[in-house]
Structure 1
Amino acid sequence: MPVSVYLGESNEGSVSWIPKNEKNPHLLVVGTSGSGKTVTLRSLVYELGKSGIPSLIVDFHNDFDDLAESILDFKNITINPLDFSGGETAETSMYKVSSILSKIFRLGVQQEGVLQDAIIESYGKYGIGLKDTMHDGAIPDFNTVRRALEEKIDVLREERRATVTVETLMVRLRPLFDTGFFSQKETKKFDEIFMKTTVLKLRDLPTDEVKYTVAEFFLNKLKYALYKKGKTDELRLYCIVDEAHRLIDERSPLNDLLRESRKYGTGVIMSSQRPGDFSETVLANIGAFIAFQCRLDKDSKFVSKQMKIDFESVQNLTETGTAYIDFSSSDRSLKVKVKDYDSRTSGKKQIKNMRIEDTAKTSSDEIKIYPEKKYQTVKSIPNKKSKTSESLHENPENYSAKIITHEKTRTPLHWFFDGIKKSWDDLGLILSSKIWRAMLIAAIVALGFFAFNWFSILAIIIFFMVLGFRKV
């Protein structure tokens, strides 16, 4: 059955996004800050998860931590961009790495050439040729490249030649080298990403350049993991990129994913505050376009042109959460009030956040809510026979509250253990009562006459405690 994601309501009824019906499974969300863009991304991740589709989320602002089943914060993992085991050649890897770093760190032509030479030399030290597609031994990493550049500077100094180009390159790349993320054996297994929603956490990285580099290299690794996984007609993963304008260009792995990932069962969802940041080539690969309020006139004009809506209508999108949605399968756009994330999860949150036992009474039952354990549920309070086998947490969105019937009948054994438990909690209160102190002393004295052993004394004390709290 095709994946269907409910988006919200229009004047014509409910609106859902069915990726399989569109020319591509990719989706673009644009809108100014506070318009509902990020909330909609969260909703999409939630709904896809309900359909069994995990997401890989490139998160620059820690907006998705609570949705993650796995968080990659690079404190305990590393990846090696020079590892070409995904099916590419060492030469392809070299050009991709140098291209990404050149774009992000604004390297000149000469600096990019020096970097390429350092990568080639690093491969050579490990016996790897540029045309190799696999290597059984160790693979060089960024520490190897760094040493190659340092050796280059030493050689140039000995020959009294200019070292400015290499030294400037080293200065620009130093923040990247110093992180150590790319200078150890690769520890991330990409198969895990296809099984659970994963957040690539970037906010705490030292500089914007390092954040973008990590994101680019990770997406490049994802691309080759898809190649290795093979083609499929079924959706098995979505890649979510917030603030995608930071990454998208002709040299970006994200652009490669837009062109190729559909064949490998993967869709891409991107967001940006500026719709004009995306080229015609990128937009041509988008199957659905969601546009919230855009404050700048040129952005509103861009949306108006793309969606074939008059400019004034786009400008009047002032209500948070209201957007125009354009599907490639439709010849016109719809104005939709998108259902926000909190509304989708309110029932689930209510159950998850309950920490006390709420009690209500009916004529026949004592009804109690147990939020943290799996109990049988009833959909109708008065009818105890309407039990189902569904547990409290299996499908919480289907119920506004989950309840179970709990019989009043209690045995002496229940009172005995409840009394012990509560007596421990209130021991100070018990001993502060003169009557209780007198009774306990009398019991101990009586035992002194009849059966002086500590086991009997303890038994009498517990007996009085239980009697005193028989109405727990």
Structure 2
Amino acid sequence: MDGDIFLGLAANGEKQFLHLGQANRHGLVAGATGTGKTVTLQDLAENFSARGVPVFMADVKGDLAGIAMPGSSTAKNSDKLEARAKELGMDDYAYSDNPVVFWDLFGEQGHPIRTTISEMGPQLLARLLDLNETQSGVLDIVFRYADEQGLLLLDLADLQSMLAFTAENASELTTKYGNVTKASVGTIQRQLLSLDSQGGAQFFGEPALEIADFIGTDEKGRGYINVLAADKLMRSPKLYATFLLWLLADLFEALPEVGDPEKPKLVFFFDEAHLLFDDVPDALEDKIEQVVRLIRSKGVGVYFVTQNPIDVPEKVAGQLGNRVQHALRAFTPRDQRAIKAAAETFRINPDLDVAQAITELKVGEALVSTLQDDGAPSVVQRTLIVPPRSRLGPLTAQERAIIMGASPFQGKYDTRVNRESAEEVLAQKAQDAAATAQEVEEKGREEVAKQPRKSTSIWEKAMKRAVSAAAGSGAAIAAGAITGRKSRANPMKTATSSALGSLATDLAGPLAGRFVRNIIGGLMR
């Protein structure tokens, strides 16, 4: 059991472990408010990190940030933590910190997380905007036209420009792609304005998140714990749920198949999991189950964290092999159904009345069942959960600033980049069209037709930048002759390669975005 995670001590004296080789088989941490669910989450995260497994977790209340700092014997409740450690025979118990990277969609309490509109794709975007089938179809047409025209959709401004263009050219697009109505376009535009007012625009743009940055270790070999500041994000629950679903799909697309590794490549904690499934269509629920099932082979363990176990649909819950169930309260019929459902998911322990025990569990106590080395679930046991070694509670603003200042990604994502994309291209086209119309009126159509085009193609723009690059290379050779440094750069070769590289840069957004969307869209359909 070397390297496995010690979860706690069962009532019968058996130690309960989460086996690293089975940790990618997903899990569930459930329990009513105040029963110790967050502490269990913190304990799991720091133990995964200590074993070199990176973690992603959302801090929905602001109290998980303390995982970056060591606990203290002078802190509140420290006597209870130390007494629990002694009770469990943890002779090596000592307070310690963890390597943490803070992220924030709004860029206020962590590095900004962004993706492009193109990478998000029409399926997830339609869910985020709560569009009906007809409106979703129009959004599909907008994306397809942008792809065909090589127009980069990076941020909300790009999408708004594309929608305005679509409305103006609705009849032409209808002929080629299918019915496009101005009413549907108008509805999408209004929903985008609503998303913008909720801060959603912060999520779209560049530099976009490189998913590999979630998967790393520090100089001591500890996995980074990626903490998403989500207290403000939770005010927009649909944005929160859609973002995490996109992140899962992006992980699935980016990571190679590894089967069942000795330990996960990443553990993903999905807190407030009920938000993912609220009012979700059956078809999308099926696809979420598919994502959860398939991502296991990429070495990613997904752990849903929720107050009530019936918040997770049966088809998804059936994929969750490792379970930690804290106390539930039987105040309502729904609570009673939850208790019954939770009891039925465990492997029977003839010495334990599970349904009754769920209502009697104390804070820091849970029913635990994990997958054994052979993949079979262990018999459920009433267990005292181990105490975390890091701080319980939030950080000060100064502590957060210090940790962010030492982040390995300091400066990488903090400054937004706004390169030429659909908004600028369409604005230039409109400007050229207006100028041409004025010239036609002033000089006549035949005279204007003889003049060269004002707008250039993507290739022409790439060649223009390449010539400039080649000139720079020639200057470098001349400078080398003066300084004595030799350069093997060939200006003509540099021009060609620069043109190709520049063209690749211009096309990277539409092509890469389309590839990611095909993966995500295939899962979402």
Instruction: State whether TM-score is above 0.5.
Output: yes
Hey, what does 1:324 align to over in structure 2?
367
Partner residue, 1:245: 274
User: Structure 1's 212 and 316: CA in aligned 2 closer, same or farther, altered over 3 A?
Assistant: closer
Q: Which residue is equivalent to 1:176?
A: 195
Pairing of 1:174-323 with structure 2 (within 5 A): 174-177=193-196, 179-195=200-216, 196-205=224-233, 207-227=236-256, 233-234=261-262, 235-248=264-277, 251=284, 255-295=289-329, 296-307=335-346, 308=348, 310=353, 312-323=355-366
Aligned to 1:100: 124
Residue from 167, 186, 192 that aligns with 1:167: 186
Q: Equivalents in 2 of 1:310, 1:286: separation in Å?
A: 22
How big is each residue's C-alpha offset from its partner over 1:422-451, in whole Å with a ceiling of 9 and x where there is no partner? xxxxxxxxxxxxxxxxxxxxxxxxxxxxxx
Q: Could you tell me how far 1:185 is from its partner in structure 2?
A: 2.4
| Structure 1 residue aligned with 2:381 | 334
Mapped to 2, the partners of 1:273 and 1:146 lie a distance apart of: 38
CA separation of 1:151 and 1:182: change in aligned 2, threshold 3 A:
farther
Structure 1 residue 315, shift from structure 2 partner: 4.5
Given that residues 238 and 268 in structure 1 are in contact (C-alpha distance below 8 angstroms), is that contact kept between their aligned partners in structure 2? yes
Higher helix share: 2
Residue 73 in 1 paired to residue 104 in 2? yes
Distance 1:78 1:57, change over 3 A: closer
Paired AA for residue 182 in structure 2: T
* Structure 2 unaligned spans of 5+: 69-99, 175-179, 217-223, 330-334, 397-525
How far does the alpha carbon of each residue in 1:99-141 deviate from its partner, in whole angstroms, 9 at most, with x for none?
32333433211111111111112222217xxxxxxxxxx6654
Shift of 1:187: 3.4
Q: CA deviation at 1:226?
A: 1.6
Are the structure 2 counterparts of residues 266 and 315 from structure 1 closer, same or farther at C-alpha, using a change threshold of 3 Å? closer
Instruction: Report if the CA contact (8 A) 2:116-2:154 is conserved.
Output: no
With over 3 angstroms needed to count, the CA separation of the structure-2 counterparts of 1:210 and 1:102, relative to structure 1, is same
The CA deviation at 1:191 is 2.0
Map Cα deviations across residues 363-396 of structure 1 (whole Å, 9 max, x no partner): xxxxxxxxxxxxxxxxxxxxxxxxxxxxxxxxxx
Kindly name which structure, 1 or 2, has the bigger radius of gyration based on alpha carbons.
Answer: 1
Seen in structure 2, the aligned counterparts of structure 1 residues 167 and 139 have a Cα distance that, compared at 3 Å, is: closer
Q: Is the 8 A contact 2:7 2:18 kept in 1?
A: no
Q: Is residue 6–residue 15 contact of structure 2 (8 Å, CA) maintained in 1?
A: yes
Other-structure match for 2:165: 151
- 1:72-91 equivalent positions in 2, closer than 5 A: 72-74=103-105, 75=107, 77-82=112-117
Cα deviation code 1:2-56 (max 9, x no counterpart)? 6411111112224333334549531101111111111100110111111121201
Contact 2:369 2:381 in 1 (8 A): yes
Rounded to whole Å, the distance in 1 between the matches of 2:237 and 2:114 is: 18
Distance 1:116 1:170, change over 3 A: same
| Distance in 1, Cα, partners of 2:364 & 2:48 | 19
Q: Do the aligned partners of residues 125 and 38 (structure 1) sit closer, same or farther apart at CA in structure 2, a change above 3 Å counting?
A: same
Alignment of 1:323-472 (within 5 A): 323-328=366-371, 329-341=376-388, 344-345=389-390
Query: Percent same amino acid at aligned positions?
Result: 21
Aligned-partner SS, 1:239: strand
What do the CA deviations read for 1:56-81 (whole angstroms, capped 9, x no partner)?
Answer: 11333323223351111132535334
Report if aligned partners of 1:304, 1:314 keep a CA contact under 8 Å in 2.
no
Distance 1:172 1:139 in 2: 17
Contact 1:153 1:163 in 2 (8 A): yes
Q: What is the deviation of 1:208? A: 2.5
1:124 aligns with: 148
1:79 and 1:287 map into 2 onto residues whose CA distance is 32
TM-score normalized by the length of structure 1:
0.61
**Taking structure 1 as reference, are residues 222 and 63 closer, same or farther at Cα in structure 2, changes over 3 Å only?**
farther
Is structure 2 residue 61 aligned with structure 1 residue 61?
yes
Q: Which amino acid is the alignment partner of residue 46 of structure 2?
A: Y
Q: TM-score, normalised by structure 2?
A: 0.55
Question: Which residue is equivalent to 1:12?
Answer: 12
Q: Which residue of 2 aligns with 1:456?
A: none
- Take 1:298 and 1:101, find their aligned partners in 2: how far apart are those partners? 34
RMSD over equivalenced CA pairs, Å:
3.4
Query: Distance in 2 between the 1:189 and 1:345 partners?
Result: 28
Q: Distance in 2 between matches of 1:312 and 1:284?
A: 19
**Number of equivalences:** 325
Alpha-carbon shift at residue 239 of structure 1 (Å): 0.8
Structure 1 unpaired stretches of 5+: 85-92, 128-137, 354-472
CA drift of 1:82 comes to 4.6
Query: Which position in structure 2 is the counterpart of 1:409?
Result: none
Q: What is the rounded CA distance, in whole Å, between the counterparts of 2:370 and 2:243 in structure 1?
A: 32
